[in-house]
Amino acid sequence: MIRLRINGLEREVEIPHPMYRLLDVLREDIGLTGAKEGCGEGECGACAVLLNGVLVNSCLIPASQVDEADILTPEGLAETEAGKLLAKCFTECHGAQCGFCTPGMMMAAAELLFTNRKPTEVEIREALAGNICRCTGYDMIIDAVQLATERGANIW
Partner 1 sequence: MVEVFKPTSLAEALRIRADKHAIPFAGGTDLMVRFRARDGMAPSFKSPILFVDALPEFNTIRMFNGGLKIGASLPLSILAGDRGAVNGGTGTGATSGVVPDAAVLATIPGVLKAAAAEVGAPALRNRATIGGNLANASPAGDSIAALYALSAEIILVSLSGERMIPIEKFILGPGEISLKEDEIIHTIHIPAPLPDWTYWRKVGTRRANALTKISLAAAASIKDGRVESCSFAFGAVGPRVIRVHEIESLLQSRFPVVQEAKLKEIIAEAKKFASSMITPIDDQRSTAKYRKTVALNLIGDAIASLVEELKLGD
Partner 2 sequence: MKSISQSIPRPDGMAKADGSALYVADLQFDGTEGGRSPDGAVALGSESGLSKDMLLGRFYRSPYPRGKIRRLQLPECPPGYHIISAADIPQGGKNEIPMAASRDMPCFAENEIRYAGQIVALVAGPDAYEIERLIRAIELEVDETPVVKNIDEALALKGGAIHGEDNIFCRVDLDEGEVDEVFAGAASVVEGVYETGFQEQFYMEGQGLIAWRTGNKCGVRGSMQCPYYVHHAVSHVLGLKHDEIRVIADTIGGGFGGKEDYPEIMGAPLAVASWVSGKPIRMLMDRVEDMAFTSKRHPSRCVYRSALDSEGRILAIDATVDLDGGAYETYTKIVLMRAVFHSLGVYAIPVFRIRGRGIATNTVPSGAFRGFGAPQSLFGIEMHMEEIARRNRCEVLDYKRNYFLKKGDTTVTGGIFRDEIILDKLIAEAERLSGYSGKRIKLGRGKGQGIGMSFILHGCGFTGDGEQKIIKGKAVLKKHRDDKVEILCAAVDFGQGPQTTFRKVVARVLGIEPNTVIFNYPDTDFVPDSGPTVASRTIMIVGYLLQKAAEELKAIWVEGEEQVVEQNYQMPPGMSWDQERLRGDSYATYGWGVNVCEVELDFLTWETKVIGAWAVFDVGRAVDHRVVNGQIQGGMSQALGYGAMEKLEVDSKGQFRQITMADYMVPTSVDFPRTEALTVDNPYLYGAFGAKGMGEMVHDGGHAAFAAAVEQACGKACTTIPLVPETLMEIMEA
Among 15, 38, 57, 149, binds partner 2 (CB under 8 A): 38
- What binding mask, one character per residue, do residues 102-141 give for partner 1 by CB under 8 A, x or -? ------x--xx-xxx------x--xx-xxxx---------
The reply on whether position 117 binds partner 2 by CB under 8 A is no
Q: Which is nearer to partner 1, 18 or 137 (CB)?
A: 18
The reply on whether position 57 binds partner 2 by CB under 8 A is no
User: What DSSP string describes the chain?
Assistant: -EEEEETTEEEEE--SSTT-BHHHIIIIII---SS--S-SSSSS-TTEEEETTEEEEGGG-BGGGGTT-EEE-HHHHHHSHHHHHHHHHHHHTT--SS-SSHHHHHHHHHHHHHH-SS--HHHHHHHTTTS--SSSTTHHHHHHHHHHHHHTTTT-
The reply on whether position 98 binds partner 1 by CB under 8 A is no
Among 23, 34, 66, 113, binds partner 2 (CB under 8 A): 34
Residue numbers at the binding site for partner 1 (CB under 8 A): 16-21, 40-43, 45, 48, 50-57, 59-62, 64-67, 69, 108, 111-112, 114-116, 123, 126-127, 129-132
